[in-house]
Structure 1
Amino acid sequence: MPLIVSFHQHLEDKFSGDLAKLYHNESRFPSLNDSAIDTLNTLLASPDYRFYSGIFNGKLVAGALTLANEGLTSFDFLCVRDATRRRGVGSTLLDEMKRYEAARSAVTLSCIIDNNDQENQAFLQANGFSTHSEQLDPNRQQWGCDLEEL
């Protein structure tokens, strides 16, 4: 069964358990550890935010939050459940995010990650992202992907 990717501007309660499993042990996202659905729905109250979900066999196995602003879209909270990692789920989610964001006139999709996060740097590079030359924080890098080619 393929991964189904869609976006949401409000998360229904049915996602609560899966969101808890997705973000429970993620030290990178402490704000989502206790009540991910409440935190995300607070952000999703703004029309500039979208939550992208990756559903496999009826279960939420991946997710990411995007913020669009004047043709630029940034994402955060990209996470894939441990049991489904290294199977292309994250890459499929990113590909669909690129497609959806390009359709709403975004020209760039970007994120910021820690300099010492080698695993996610390699993942982003393998998915067509590169670092920006200007870095605002010496401990973190901004990565981006041009969407105009899509």
Structure 2
Amino acid sequence: MPVLIEAVSDPSSQDLSDLAKIYADAPDWLLQPYQNAAELIEAGLRDGRLFAGRFNDRLLGAALLQRGEPAWRLSHLCVRKVTRRRGVGKRLLEEATRLAIESGHPLHLAAPADHLEAQALAARSHLPLEPL
């Protein structure tokens, strides 16, 4: 069964629990400019920017997808620690890229410019890196 990618707009209590678990594993730098994971999740839901990967009815990874001009921006990409290295993040990136291209916009990855892991991810994904 593939990882299904969706915009999260009306989360169930299980979805909220899963999102909290996803961002509980996040390093502190990934949560910026938010004070904590709960604030990031709340802002993403309020603004309609929360984008997540679901497998077997559970959310395993999430990101914020800002649909803007002239480019779309993917930020705060995080996958649950127990699920990493299984393609969830890659599926989130692929689907965000597909949606952006379909709408006629390029996709940029937003992360701290000096973060080596973010630089490597941007290079592997062939995405421009924007400072977070």
Q: Aligning the two structures, in what range does the TM-score lie when normalised by the shorter sequence?
A: 0.7 to 0.9
1:138 is matched with none
- Could you tell me which residue of structure 2 aligns to residue 21 of structure 1? 21
> Is residue 19–residue 36 contact of structure 1 (8 Å, CA) maintained in 2?
no
Once residues 37 and 115 of structure 1 are traced to their aligned partners in structure 2, the CA distance between those partners, rounded to angstroms, is 23
Residues 130-145 of structure 1: matches in 2 within 5 Å?
A: 130-131=128-129, 142=130
Following the alignment from structure 1 to structure 2, what is the Cα–Cα distance between the partners of residues 69 and 99?
Answer: 15
Structure 1 letter corresponding to 2:66: L
> Bigger radius of gyration, 1 or 2?
1
TM-aligned CA distance change 1:124 to 1:12, over 3 Å: same
1:79-103 deviations in Å (ceiling 9; x for gaps): 1111111122211110111111222
Displacement of 1:35 after TM fit?
A: 4.7
Alignment of 1:1-150 (within 5 A): 1-8=1-8, 10-14=9-13, 15-26=15-26, 27=28, 28-29=30-31, 31=34, 32-44=36-48, 50-106=49-105, 108-131=106-129, 142=130
Report the TM-score, using the length of structure 2 for normalisation: 0.81
RMSD of aligned residue pairs (Cα, Å): 2.1
What secondary structure does 1:116 align onto? coil
Deviation at 1:60, TM superposition (A): 0.5
Aligned length: 126
Instruction: For 1:81 and 1:55, locate their aligned partners in 2 and report how far apart those are by CA, in whole Å.
Output: 12
Cα offsets for 1:5-45 (capped at 9, x unmatched): 1223x24233210110011242120524235542322222x
SS in 2 for 1:42: helix
Letter in 1 for 2:46: T
Higher relative contact order by CA 8 Å / sep ≥ 6: 1 or 2?
A: 2
User: In structure 2, do the counterparts of structure 1 residues 37 and 115 end up closer, same or farther at CA, with 3 Å as the change threshold?
Assistant: closer
Q: Distance in 2 between matches of 1:36 and 1:17?
A: 14
- Structure 2 alignment gaps of length 5 or more: none
Q: Which has the higher helix share?
A: 2
User: 1:48-76 CA distances to partner (integer Å, 9 max, x unpaired)?
Assistant: xx322101121101111111223411121
- Aligned residues of 2:23 and 2:37 also touching (Cα < 8 A): yes
